[in-house]
Amino acid sequence: MVREERLRVQMPAVLSLGSNLGDRERTIREAVAEIGRLPGVTVVAASGLVETAALKPHGVDTEAPAYLNAVVAARTSLSPEQLLDALGGIESRHGRVREERWGDRTLDIDIVAFDGLRIDSERLTVPHPRAADRAFVLVPWLDIEPTAALVGLGRVDRLPAADPARVRHYDAEPLL
């Protein structure tokens, strides 16, 4: 008897990862590997690491530990909400706590874009509402997808925050 496997369409997703506590590089490397092991998720590409000063609600905080950031392009058969839940599990396993808005963290994983969709629910906003203003998202995204576009805003390389001078490239082995 032949077993039939139902094919599931995989949609593109762009994820941003950041860490400013603990062994930042190791945490991001482990998180990228964990994302790739999620059922229904395939990591297609991962950017290099960039480093930036911590961004808080009041602006840049040079007293806080600096962030390492990366961007992952993936394909997934999960719904946006299922992906959000799975990424939250990875954050939790790496000691993420949510006590302070934009507080220091061991790991933050955001869904930047999902299949060209606009989503605005209580749990999820896609495209990420502040992605267009964040060099630590746009610069690494352009490293892996030079023609990237944000829904409603157009090409990422034309956005002011896409200036590579706004981040410091972090010398490290490739994430994949």
Residue of 104, 110, 134, 143 marked active site: 110
Please say if 133 is a catalytic residue: no
Instruction: State the DSSP H helix or E strand holding residue 136, giving kind and residue range, or none if neither.
Output: helix 135-144
Residue 60 neighbours by CB distance under 10 Å: 11
Note whether 28 and 157 are within 8 A (CB): no
Q: How far apart are CA 92 and CA 86, in angstroms?
A: 10
Given the residues 24, 29, 96, 134, select the one marked as catalytic: 96
From CA 153, how far away is CA 40, in angstroms rounded? 29
Which residue in 24, 29, 105, 134 is the catalytic one?
A: 105
User: Is 24 a known active-site residue?
Assistant: no
Q: 153: which 2 tokens? A: 């805003």
Asked if 96 is an active-site residue, the reply is yes
The yes-or-no answer on residue 85 being catalytic is: no
Q: Which residues are catalytic?
A: 96, 105, 108, 110
